[in-house]
Structure 1
Amino acid sequence: MLAWARGLRLVVDAFEEGRLLAMRLGKLAELTVPEASDADLELTAQWAAFICLVDDRFDRSRVDIRPEKVASLFTRLLNVITGGPAGSASGIEQALDDLWRRTAPRMSPQWRKRFVADYRDFALAMQEEAAGRIDRAPMGLSDYVLRRRRTITALPMTDILECTAGAPWPGLPMGEDLMRALRRAVADVAGWSNDLVSAEDDLREGRDNLVTVVSRERDCSLSSAREHATAMRDDRVRDFHALAASLTAIALPETEREEIRRYVAALGSFVAATLHWLGVTHRFDARWAPRPV
């Protein structure tokens, strides 16, 4: 993965290379798609690296955080996956082009439409977040939860897992609402768990985080807020498992039941992998804090 990132200029010096290695995204991929081929394992890790490095461009950088800068970047990235005008051929654009060429042709037109919609919504949420940083308007908990679900990039990643885990979205109208609710639970678990791990890093950089938002909303200490946020996350994990059980219990012919089981199992692996990975990654260590510019 490092050679891939270096070749596409996603990392440009020893500091960035060290930080990418410290993220341990290979471990995340191994746990997420344990039965995948070597090629799909690598593709999963590379998508995760792309997602983390795009996120870090704003969360862990002191440049390019104004809404117009965010909009410009995501316009170029969306052009890559929609066939729009060519952009600046930056490392990020080249990486997405490479990933897209190795993923999209294997998937259906419906999948491509869903991925583009999910990534476009992520892009819009990132612009909203950037505008909020400029305005410095405090968010309430309910608003934060809704936006965090969109900024964590978990929904686009669940789309990728349809490819690399061999678990495409089951085309079952009767299960559509449950599957969308399951995906929302995945995004919440990923986002809130991420916030619990990155709370000190976010506080150091002056960014909102589930812990700080809960502290403000409940007028309590950060330690009490962390306990409450952890309970919220644990409740959401239980929601995920309840939704998964409801989906797999739908009375269907065996072929369709197997499609649902594969899809649910893929998302379950992603949830479990994310929870484990966040306990071993060094992505948020203070030594990788943004450098002066």
Structure 2
Amino acid sequence: MHDPKALPQASRSRSAEQKVFAHLAKAPELVLSAPCKVNPGHAEAERANRLWARRMNLVTSDAATQRFDASDWGGFTARNYPTAALDDLTLLTGWMSWMGQLDDQQAEGMYRTVDSWLGVIPGLLAVTASGGVSSHPCNGALETALADLLRRTLPRFTDAWRDRFAAHLREIFEGLLVESELSAKYVPTSVSDYMFRRRGSAMVAPSLDLASRFHEVGCPRVDQKHGKCP
């Protein structure tokens, strides 16, 4: 039976996406009646993160560097963590920008193809399993940057938190591969199925893990299979 909510998975080109982004750029600016707080360290965190991204080789071409800098990851993180200490803010900015590079650019690799994910995911899973220890060999910018972030993050937290965070990273990596395979096969997808699947491939769960520690807010792990908290 035909699902009226089904969305055919059409291939997307960069030029088509750029037209969408250009259209969104013309949208009227939203003005909040109560402006959000901004961490006063955002400029320093942004400068440090740009240097870090270049050192990790997350960006190498002029175009990629311009896109990365224009994203203002320091400003984004400063609005999510307005009271974080500068060291924490810088670390969180690194995580947010790395997640963006993985999901959007794959460190300037082929964009969201099955082959590109197959070339990336196994290495990221291995780095995650190692905890980012310096003795683990890394291949490529995404692995090197992930290992660096893990080394700076994991010692701060409990074994239970580290296990949950690693499990969420593994779920995301595997979810990205599944999503790319379905898209490559042009599998019709209902809106509800797509939204559920994106929960397993977007960076929501790891981001909530980080927020649960830096905001001291309890965020229970969601059962991805049944869509509820265990």
Mark yes or no: TM-score above 0.5. Answer: yes
Which of 161, 166, 169 is equivalent to 2:211? 161
Q: TM-score, normalised by structure 1?
A: 0.54
Measured in 1, the distance between the counterparts of 2:94 and 2:180 equals 26
Is the CA contact (8 Å cut-off) linking 2:57 and 2:141 kept in structure 1? yes
Please tell me whether residue 82 in structure 1 is matched to residue 129 in structure 2.
yes
For residue 40 of structure 1, report the CA deviation from its aligned partner: 0.6
Aligned to 1:224: none
Instruction: Give the Cα–Cα distance (whole angstroms) in 2 for the partners of residues 140 and 61 of structure 1.
Output: 30
Name the aligned partner's letter for residue 74 of structure 1: I
Q: 1 CA distance for matches of 2:144 and 2:190?
A: 37
Q: Is 79-88 or 150-159 further displaced after alignment?
A: 79-88
Question: How far apart are 1:169 and its partner, in Å?
Answer: 3.8
Q: 1:54 & 1:65 partners in 2: Cα distance?
A: 10
Stretches of structure 1 that go unaligned for 5 or more consecutive residues are: 171-178, 185-293
Provide the residue aligned with 2:78 in structure 1.
30
Judge conservation of contact 2:138–2:144 (CA < 8 Å) in 1: no
Tell me if structure 2 keeps the 8 A contact 1:81–1:116.
yes
What letter corresponds to residue 120 of structure 1 in structure 2? R
1:36 is paired with a residue whose SS is: coil
Q: Which residue of 2 aligns with 1:114?
A: 164
Question: Which range moves more in the overlay, 46-55 or 71-80?
Answer: 71-80
Q: Secondary structure at the match of 2:200?
A: helix
Counterpart for residue 129 of structure 1: 179
- Measured on the aligned residues, the alpha-carbon RMSD in Å equals 2.6
Instruction: Give the secondary structure class of the aligned counterpart of 1:160.
Output: helix
Distance change (3 Å), C-alpha of 1:26 and 1:64: closer
Asked if 1 retains the 8 angstrom alpha-carbon contact of 2:102 and 2:142, the reply is: yes
Q: What secondary structure, in the 3-state scheme, does the structure 1 residue paired with 2:59 have?
A: coil
Residues 71 and 95 of structure 1: CA distance in aligned 2, closer, same or farther (over 3 Å): same
Change beyond 3 A, Cα 1:74–1:55 = same
Structure (1/2) with the larger helix percentage: 1
Is 1:63 aligned to 2:63, yes or no?
A: no
Check if 1:43 corresponds to 2:43: no
Equivalent residue number for residue 16 of structure 2: none
Where 1:45 maps in the other structure, the secondary structure is: helix
Deviation at 1:142, TM superposition (A): 1.8
Tell me which residue corresponds to 1:20: 68
After TM superposition, the score normalised by the length of structure 2 is 0.67
CA distance, structure 1, for counterparts of residue 51 and residue 67 of structure 2 = 14
Cα distance in 2 between the residues matched to 1:153 and 1:6 = 22
Instruction: Report SS of the residue matched to 1:151.
Output: coil
- Write the distance in 1 (CA, Å) between the matches of 2:109 and 2:147: 26
Map Cα deviations across residues 189-224 of structure 1 (whole Å, 9 max, x no partner): xxxxxxxxxxxxxxxxxxxxxxxxxxxxxxxxxxxx
Aligned identity (percent) is 27
SS in 1 for 2:189: coil
Q: Distance in 1 between matches of 2:142 and 2:86?
A: 23
Q: For the residues of structure 2 that align with 1:138 and 1:104, how far apart are their CA atoms?
A: 40
Flag the 1:74–1:168 CA change in 2: closer, same or farther, 3 A.
farther
Distance in 1 between the 2:51 and 2:128 partners?
23
Cα distance between partner residues in 2 of 1:87 and 1:66:
25
Q: Structure 2: which amino acid aligns with 1:33? A: Y
Confirm whether residue 11 of structure 1 aligns to residue 59 of structure 2. Answer: yes
Ranked by relative contact order (alpha carbons within 8 Å, sequence separation 6 or more), the top structure is 1
Contact 1:50 1:95 in 2 (8 A): yes
